[in-house]
């Protein structure tokens, strides 16, 4: 039981969300559901990255009354994965919006959200 730590739980949840997202991407026929699968995949990767940067018994990388300025590198968790995820969330949001606008345009053209009706680029 000593293996179950906060970090392991969040890593497992992240991996599970990645797998659910990939399953949705590969099996769903509805275009909106494919976009949701992509968003889940994205979120899972964010959870995994943040939990890898976590260090036990340490606090958020913000210097305040809880973190001594001169001993900061022994008191805070890794700020780099957090900065990366901050970047990745915004880009993921932009890409999801872009995919949804493609879906909207495709629906306007063919009045169908089923991906099996789109065979134009299938070889």
Candidates 30-38, 61-69, 115-123 — which segment interacts with another protein by CB under 8 A? 61-69
The set of long-range contacts for 30-33, using a CB threshold of 8 Å and a minimum separation of 24, is 30/113, 30/114, 30/115, 31/103, 31/106, 31/107, 31/113, 31/114, 31/115, 32/100, 32/103, 32/113
The answer to whether residue 7 forms part of the interface with another protein (CB under 8 A) is yes
CA 38 to centroid of chain Cα atoms: 9
Query: For residue 57, is it left (φ>0), alpha (ψ between -120 and 50) or beta?
Result: left
25 to 44, contacts with another protein by CB under 8 A? Answer: 26-27
Q: Which of 73, 76, 71, 82 is nearest to 59 (CA)?
A: 76
The answer to whether residue 56 forms part of the interface with another protein (CB under 8 A) is yes
62 to 121, contacts with another protein by CB under 8 A? Answer: 62-64, 69, 72-73, 76, 78-80, 82-83, 86-87, 89-91, 93-95, 97-98, 100-102, 104-105, 107-108
The answer to whether residue 9 forms part of the interface with another protein (CB under 8 A) is no
Residues in contact with another protein by the rule CB under 8 A:
5, 7-8, 11-12, 15, 18-19, 22-23, 26-27, 52, 54-56, 60-64, 69, 72-73, 76, 78-80, 82-83, 86-87, 89-91, 93-95, 97-98, 100-102, 104-105, 107-108
């Amino acid at each position: 039981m000593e293996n179950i730590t906060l970090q392991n739980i969040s890593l497992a949840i992240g991996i599970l969300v990645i797998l659910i997202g990939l399953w949705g991407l590969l099996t769903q026929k509805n275009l909106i559901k494919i976009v949701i699968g992509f968003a889940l995949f994205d979120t899972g990767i964010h959870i995994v990255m943040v939990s890898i940067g976590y260090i036990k018994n340490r606090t958020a990388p913000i210097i305040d009354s809880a973190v001594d300025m001169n001993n900061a590198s022994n008191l805070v968790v890794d700020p780099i994965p957090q900065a990366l995820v901050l970047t990745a969330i915004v880009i993921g949001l932009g890409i999801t919006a872009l995919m949804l606008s493609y879906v909207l345009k495709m629906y306007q053209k063919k009045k169908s959200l089923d991906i099996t009706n789109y065979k134009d680029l299938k070889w």
